[in-house]
Amino acid sequence: MSRETRLAARTEGAEGSEIRIMFERAQAYDGDLVRLEIGEPDFDTPAHVVDGAAEAARNGDTHYTSTYGVQRLREAIAERIARENGVPVEADDVLVTVGAIEALTVGLLSVAGPGDEVVVLTPGFANYTAQVELTGAEPVQVPLPAATGFDLDHELVADHVTGDTAAVILCRPTNPTGRVYDESDVRELARVAADHDAYVVADEVYEKLTYEGTRRSVAAIADDPEWVLSVNSFSKSYAMTGWRLGWLAGSTEVIEAAQVLRQATTLCPSSVSQAAGLAALDGPSDPFSEMVDTYEERREYALERIREWPEVECVRPEGAFYLFLDVTAFERPVMDLALHLLEEYGVSTTPGTAFGAGGEGFLRLSYAIDIDRLGTGLDRIERAIETELR
């Protein structure tokens, strides 16, 4: 006897991100595959961080923590934000989260709901739209112009901010383009949002991976920081993706609301991961700055190689660890192209459409990979261009 599965309406049409589709295809690949689709550091978490977590676990630090996160970690994060970002934040303004993903989810759930709109820039991180939909608010996708390398056109975005807007999500440095938007554009957009009583949800997970442009956070740039919710995490900057640790910083009222909501979802981040986070903030920073230097070296190498491909354009990424290649000249839907490169040439990339409609015609390559393997991956794409794409 068969019966229809009962599923909630919100699951209808929920396909999951194309990033995950490529990830699964790459995982299942049988052979020598160069993984340029991955959006995470190839470095292992530095030893002093692992030691901090292991010691905590051995000492019995294996229980639930406060739903706000461990107080010492909240204080260390607040100190870091005040010192490095120039934003006067107190521990009470910080919620320790399960990665930036949870900070985005509970942050958005706290400020947006049915009847509201949330402005999402495209191309942009795929999860934003799904997270907005979870809140019941309407995602309003604003395509940034490819002609300017997807620069932040604050007037264009401001045209979509209305009395219904609860938030504008702004990622800086940006995934997938690597752009570090000019402070003046950020300030203008934040001003328009505040004028409409809307938050800027500033996703700054790539903040430490800024090679050009300024590293000041949106809350420091904005004239009205009360209307900024800062999202950050240990994942990219500290090579700690699997520890699932991040934070949400903002007004005490929003943090309080988010803390209540998270009681129904994750309760608290892992105690052991929080010990790792403390070790990362308290310990030496050299291993992390060495990683940034390495990414920068790979960025230069990859850009030099891509410059040799006349059909392909690439805006110089100023941050993060991605290259967003304009492959419109090949006149193929980019999902097909990405799958073809994977199956026939042994190199996996992410189709630009994974970042919203604004990404058609683009492929994202990650340079969070050893430089020799990066070279092999680029050789394979070059061979595809020479043998059949051009």
Ligand X SMILES: Cc1ncc(COP(=O)(O)O)c(C=O)c1O
Query: Please, which residue, 99 or 139, has the CB nearer to ligand X?
Result: 99
The beta-strand segments (E) located in 14-163 are 34-35, 94-97, 117-122, 138-143
Query: Please, which residue, 140 or 171, has the CB nearer to ligand X?
Result: 171
Tell me the closest approach of the beta carbon of residue 240 to ligand X, in angstroms.
8
Query: Please, which residue, 232 or 380, has the CB nearer to ligand X?
Result: 232
Tell me the closest approach of the beta carbon of residue 46 to ligand X, in angstroms.
17
Tell me the closest approach of the beta carbon of residue 377 to ligand X, in angstroms.
19
Please state whether beta strands 347-348 and 350-351 pair in parallel, antiparallel, or not at all (unpaired).
Answer: unpaired
Tell me the closest approach of the beta carbon of residue 23 to ligand X, in angstroms.
11
Tell me the closest approach of the beta carbon of residue 246 to ligand X, in angstroms.
4
Tell me the closest approach of the beta carbon of residue 73 to ligand X, in angstroms.
15
Which strand (E) or helix (H) includes residue 196? none
Question: Can you give the binding site for ligand X, defined by CB under 6 A?
Answer: 39, 99-101, 125, 171, 175, 203, 205, 233, 235, 241, 246
Query: Please, which residue, 33 or 171, has the CB nearer to ligand X?
Result: 171
Query: Please, which residue, 210 or 235, has the CB nearer to ligand X?
Result: 235
Tell me the closest approach of the beta carbon of residue 390 to ligand X, in angstroms.
31
Query: Please, which residue, 23 or 330, has the CB nearer to ligand X?
Result: 23
- Strand, coil or helix: 345: helix
Taking alpha carbons only, the member of 120, 160, 155, 173 closest to residue 358 is: 120
Tell me the closest approach of the beta carbon of residue 208 to ligand X, in angstroms.
13
Residues in the chain: 390
Query: Please, which residue, 245 or 384, has the CB nearer to ligand X?
Result: 245
In the sheet with 362-366, reading across from the earlier edge strand, the strands are: 313-314, 322-326, 362-366, 350-351
Query: Please, which residue, 233 or 345, has the CB nearer to ligand X?
Result: 233
Taking alpha carbons only, the member of 383, 209, 213 closest to residue 305 is: 383
Tell me the closest approach of the beta carbon of residue 22 to ligand X, in angstroms.
13
CA distances from 323 to 101, 213, 305, 390 (A): 22, 17, 12, 20
Query: Please, which residue, 17 or 328, has the CB nearer to ligand X?
Result: 17
What residue number has its CB nearest to ligand X?
99
The beta-strand segments (E) located in 180-276 are 199-203, 228-233, 246-249
- Strand, coil or helix: 144: coil
Q: What own/partner pairs with CB < 8 Å and gap ≥ 24 does 132-135 have? A: 132/108, 132/169, 133/10, 134/10, 134/105, 134/108, 134/109, 135/108, 135/109
Query: Please, which residue, 153 or 204, has the CB nearer to ligand X?
Result: 204
CB atoms within 10 A of CB 91: 17
Query: Please, which residues have CB within 8 angstroms of residue 245's CB and are 6 or more apart in sequence?
Result: 96, 97, 98, 99, 233, 234, 235, 269, 270, 273, 274, 276, 277
From CA 212, how far away is CA 306, in angstroms rounded? 20
Tell me the closest approach of the beta carbon of residue 241 to ligand X, in angstroms.
5
From CA 173, how far away is CA 150, in angstroms rounded? 12
- Strand, coil or helix: 274: helix
From CA 340, how far away is CA 125, in angstroms rounded? 23
HSE, CB side, 13 Å, CA atoms: give it for residue 211.
21
